């Protein structure tokens, strides 16, 4: 009898623990779009952050944008840049300097109220 009650109690505790964990854990969804800037290999990227569950815009987040080439490990060293808030809520802007055209993994790091890392595969081509 006691064992069964203890088991029930521990299940309840696990559920409460789980519940609070989920409430605090905001998962961000990021839309990233980049367009060629004036200099070759320079791109202006707009990042739109929203709560993946509610869809609400995520403002006030520290956003850093980096890039790596999955096909060329260790070959590139693109310095991550801090994004600045855009005009619309939940939007951020960053200018990245790449080292060549091709397929890059754009890494969006979130800090502050939301901590997350979002990686997007994107192809960068010469301006035409
Ligand atoms: Cu490369």
For residue 28 the two structure tokens come to 């961000």
Closest CA to 49 of 94, 79, 104: 94
**CA atoms of 79 and 42, how far apart (whole Å):** 13
- Bridge pairing between strands 102-111 and 62-68: antiparallel
Six-digit token string for 65: 């944008």
- pLDDT band at residue 127 under the 50/70/90 scheme: confident
Give the β-pairing of 81-82 and 62-68.
antiparallel
- The structure's pTM equals 0.78
Query: pLDDT (tens digit, 9 = 90+) per residue, 17-26?
Result: 444 444 457 8
Each domain of the chain, given as residue ranges in start order, spans 27-124
Q: CATH number of 27-124: 2.40.170.20, 2.60.40.1930, 3.30.465.10, 3.40.50.1360?
A: 2.60.40.1930
* Interval 20-44 mean pLDDT: 84
- How many whole angstroms from 128 Cα to the centroid of ligand 1? 20
The answer to whether the CB of 39 falls within 8 A of the CB of 96 is no
Among 63, 52, 34, which Cα is nearest to 124's?
Answer: 34
> What distances in angstroms separate CA 72 from CA 45, 99, 114, one per listed residue?
22, 12, 30
Distance 4 CA to ligand 1 centre (A): 60
Residues, beta carbon < 5 Å, ion ligand 1 = 69, 72, 100
């Amino acid at each position: 009898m006691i064992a069964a009650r203890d088991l029930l109690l521990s299940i309840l505790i696990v559920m409460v623990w789980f519940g609070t964990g989920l409430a605090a854990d905001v998962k961000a969804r990021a839309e990233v779009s980049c367009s060629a800037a004036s200099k070759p290999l320079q791109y202006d990227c707009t990042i739109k952050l929203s709560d993946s569950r509610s869809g609400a815009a995520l403002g006030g987040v520290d956003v850093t944008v980096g890039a790596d080439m999955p096909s060329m490990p260790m070959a590139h060293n693109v310095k991550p840049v801090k994004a600045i808030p855009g005009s619309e809520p939940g939007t951020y802007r960053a200018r990245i300097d790449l080292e060549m055209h091709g397929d890059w993994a754009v890494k969006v790091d979130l800090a502050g109220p939301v901590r997350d890392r979002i990686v997007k595969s994107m192809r960068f081509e010469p301006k035409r």
